């Protein structure tokens, strides 16, 4: 180990490169620099073997492939191609399921939201949650009022 | 007229060679015809799903987040700009970096929304009959099940940025340059982040080993 954390980090990084490349050679370890902390090396070896990549179910894969095909068909439509930034886009009925899965897709299609912009996505998601909360409150209030109006003795005709 | 010259190394007239995005042909095909996005989807499905699963620790939440990532990526394809850099290396894919920036934002939102719900054990989620995507990953035999469980627990206890960096390095096998692109940090900062994360995991694994020694566990 050195006294410089950046040098230690660089030594560890080189070891990780070698360790990850060793998988192709079916080896479970790789040579390391003498300066590498043996505990860090062991932790890297354990993580390399433990953190496996996993695949979702076939059913999920095909369902999502179908949704993406629907969205692709919408994108290929001349109406969308002709629409400018911020234009209102008439989405076909089948696409409503996509908007239910992710309401932010509509703003992305309109060119109003960049999904790689963390702050913009966060703001849009918060606004969505707040709007959903207000809608739920309005519906709950309306339901309570309707129930009160139709219940004898509470405000309805008795 | 000068004839062709073979075997002579010519000096490059440009300062650096721009490395092409290894997904360039797939990206261009998807731009021409959005239905061709399917090839990119199939190529990166397991990677995005794995990232979501390690971050969220729940199989259903990971599926929901994966769905949003790909819907957003397809919707935003017209905005994708290839920005290959020589330092990204010959295997780098700027499309993959772009896709994982979308994944990082999508999964972060999901984590915030789920913060108050009880977290599922990642070991349970990983062991819930999910198929291992890459046969080479079966090397997990090289460590014991206990060690793997301890490593996963230690990783989940890390601060968000360290945990994300480890997931991208080990599960997605991204280079430091790619991780820097995904997390929006310098390569040096990513190297330090990963080194500190490894140190924290090493400390935790050492603590577990010590505890087993104290208990007289023969595995210690």
Which SS3 state, helix, strand or coil, does residue A55 take?
strand
Query: How many A/B residue pairs have CB atoms within 8 Å?
Result: 217
Contacts of B50 in chain A (CB under 8 A): 53-54
The pLDDT score that the predictor gives to residue A145 is 67
Exposed/middle/buried for residue A157 (C-beta within 10 Å: 0-12, 13-18, 19+): exposed
**CB contacts, 8 Å: B172 with chain A:** 53
Q: What is the spatial distance between Cα B188 and Cα B192, in angstroms, rounded to a whole number?
A: 6
Give the confidence band of B15 by pLDDT, cuts at 50, 70, 90.
Answer: very low
Q: How much of chain B, in percent, has pLDDT values that exceed 70?
A: 70
Say whether A68 and B130 touch across the interface (CB within 8 A).
Answer: no
The predicted-structure confidence for B172-207, as pLDDT tens digits, reads as follows 999 998 999 899 999 999 999 999 999 999 998 888
pLDDT at position B127, please? 58
Q: Residue B4 to residues A125, B9, B10, B11: CA-CA distances in angstroms?
A: 61, 13, 13, 16
B163 pLDDT above the threshold of 90: yes
Residue B8 pLDDT: 36
Mind listing the pLDDT tens digit for each residue in B96-110?
Answer: 999 999 999 999 999
Whole-angstrom CA distances from B209 to B30, B147, B215, B219 are 51, 9, 10, 8
β pairing state of A54-55 and B131-132: antiparallel
pLDDT at B47: 96
Alpha carbon distance B206, B105 (integer Å): 34
The interface predicted TM-score (ipTM) is: 0.78
pTM for the full predicted model:
0.79
Residues 6+ apart with CB under 8 A from B75: A71, A75, A105, A108, A109, A115
B215 versus A102: the higher-pLDDT residue is A102
- Under a CB-based contact definition with an 8 Å cutoff, are residues B21 and B27 in contact? yes
State whether residue B201 sits within 8 Å of chain A by CB: yes
Interchain pair A55, B206: CB under 8 A: no
């Amino acid at each position: 180990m050195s006294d410089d954390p950046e040098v230690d980090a660089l030594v560890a990084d080189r070891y990780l490169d070698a360790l990850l490349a060793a998988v192709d050679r079916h080896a479970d370890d790789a040579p390391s620099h003498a300066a590498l902390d043996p505990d860090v090396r062991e932790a890297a070896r354990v993580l390399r073997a433990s953190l496996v990549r996993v695949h979702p179910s076939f059913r999920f894969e095909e369902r999502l492939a179908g949704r993406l095909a629907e969205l692709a068909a919408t994108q290929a439509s001349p109406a969308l191609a002709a629409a400018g930034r911020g234009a209102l886009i008439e989405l076909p009925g089948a696409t409503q399921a996509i908007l239910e899965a992710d309401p932010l897709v509509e703003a992305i299609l309109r060119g109003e939201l960049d999904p790689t912009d963390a702050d913009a996505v966060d703001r849009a998601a918060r606004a969505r949650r707040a709007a959903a909360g207000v809608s739920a409150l309005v519906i709950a209030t309306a339901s309570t009022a309707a129930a009160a109006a139709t219940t004898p003795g509470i405000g309805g005709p008795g | 007229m000068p004839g062709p010259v073979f075997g002579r190394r010519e000096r490059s007239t440009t300062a650096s060679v721009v490395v092409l995005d290894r997904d360039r042909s797939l990206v261009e095909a998807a731009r021409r015809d959005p239905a061709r996005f399917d090839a990119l989807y199939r190529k990166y499905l397991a990677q995005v799903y794995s990232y979501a699963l390690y971050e969220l620790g729940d199989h259903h939440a990971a599926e929901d987040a994966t769905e949003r990532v790909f819907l957003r990526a397809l919707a935003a394809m017209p905005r994708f700009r290839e920005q290959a850099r020589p330092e990204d290396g010959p295997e780098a894919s700027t499309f993959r970096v772009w896709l994982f920036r979308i994944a990082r934002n999508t999964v972060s939102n999901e984590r915030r929304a789920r913060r108050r719900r009880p977290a599922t054990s990642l070991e349970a989620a990983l062991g819930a009959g999910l198929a291992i995507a890459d046969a080479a990953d079966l090397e997990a035999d090289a460590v014991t099940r206990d060690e793997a469980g301890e490593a996963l627990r230690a990783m989940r206890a890390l601060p968000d940025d360290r945990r994300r960096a480890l997931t991208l390095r080990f599960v997605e096998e991204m280079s430091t340059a790619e991780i820097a692109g995904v997390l929006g940090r310098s390569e040096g900062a990513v190297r330090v982040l990963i080194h500190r994360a490894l140190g924290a995991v090493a400390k935790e694994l050492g603590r577990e080993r010590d505890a087993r020694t104290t208990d007289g566990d023969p595995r210690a």
